[in-house]
Amino acid sequence: MEDTLIIPPVIFGHYALFFDLDGTLAEIKPHPDQVALPEEVLGALKQLAALNDGALALISGRSMVELDQLASPYRFPLAGVHGAERRDIDGNTHVFTLPESLILQLQALLETSLVHLPGTELEAKGMAFALHYRQAPEYEEAIMSLASAVVRDHPQLALQPGKCVVEIKPKGINKGEAIAAFMAEAPFHGRTPLFIGDDLTDEYGFDVVNKMNGMSVKVGQGETKAQWRLANVASVWEWVTEVANQQQQQIAHNKGGNQYGSLSRRL
């Protein structure tokens, strides 16, 4: 896809909105605990959710606990750990689990292995493991080799590379499946999906959204299945805020009139 693409107008009242978090709604930091969402961005997300009957969800590799902390004081529908755990609009949770014995076995193996790769970090998510090497990029090949060996020995697992991280997760779990699950439920069902993401893990979501004739938006450079592109996180913030304000103005000034927004920009 081209690096400079037009974002078409958002149609008021007919979209289901999905957002990745790290690298999309929030700048990537050296450590995940350093990430935060600006108050004005959170407010714009809440406004968009209210204007679209609650059809807005966060889709992330982070756990739902982390997503709730970052989105506080608001509580959105969520898909965490790439969809291995999901919370719908009614607060019902859907969690994919692995046998406890396998989780303990893998955690012990990975912790022992990473001791020999200083600067790398293991993030245990319960049903998945993230091997971070942002602080030690020289170990990328070793991390990939380790993760590949684990998946090769356990065919029920799959590998998911990302930006300076590789995740080991249950096979068949991805952000595209999470979006599809939301789209089968109220209030998302019957709407046109829009998904904004930045990483390889988001390509599954772009693929599903494209097949539903929705809007797929890539943040940053790189090859992608997405149809449109935003330059960076700051551009996402600007876009989210502008669309939220525009939709609010449509309700206030054009109630019962034209429901099409005028946002059409080259980014």
Structure tokens at 185: 């439920």
Strands (E), the chain: 6-7, 15-19, 56-59, 78-80, 85-87, 93-95, 121-124, 129-132, 157-162, 165-170, 192-197, 215-219, 228-230, 265-266
Q: Is 264 left (phi over 0), alpha (psi -120 to 50) or beta?
A: beta
Asked whether 21 and 32 are in contact (CB, 8 A), the reply is no
Which positions are catalytic?
Answer: 20
Let me know if 67 is exposed, middle or buried by CB neighbors in 10 A (0-12, 13-18, 19+). Answer: buried
Strands 228-230 and 215-219, sheet pairing: parallel
Residue 219 DSSP symbol:
E
Are 168 and 129 in contact by the 8 Å Cβ rule? The answer is yes
> Could you give phi then psi for residue 128, rounded to 5 degrees?
-155, 160
- Tell me how far apart the terminal alpha carbons of the chain are, to the nearest angstrom: 14
Q: How far apart are CA 179 and CA 77, in angstroms?
A: 11
Sheet containing 129-132: order of strands: 121-124, 129-132, 165-170, 157-162
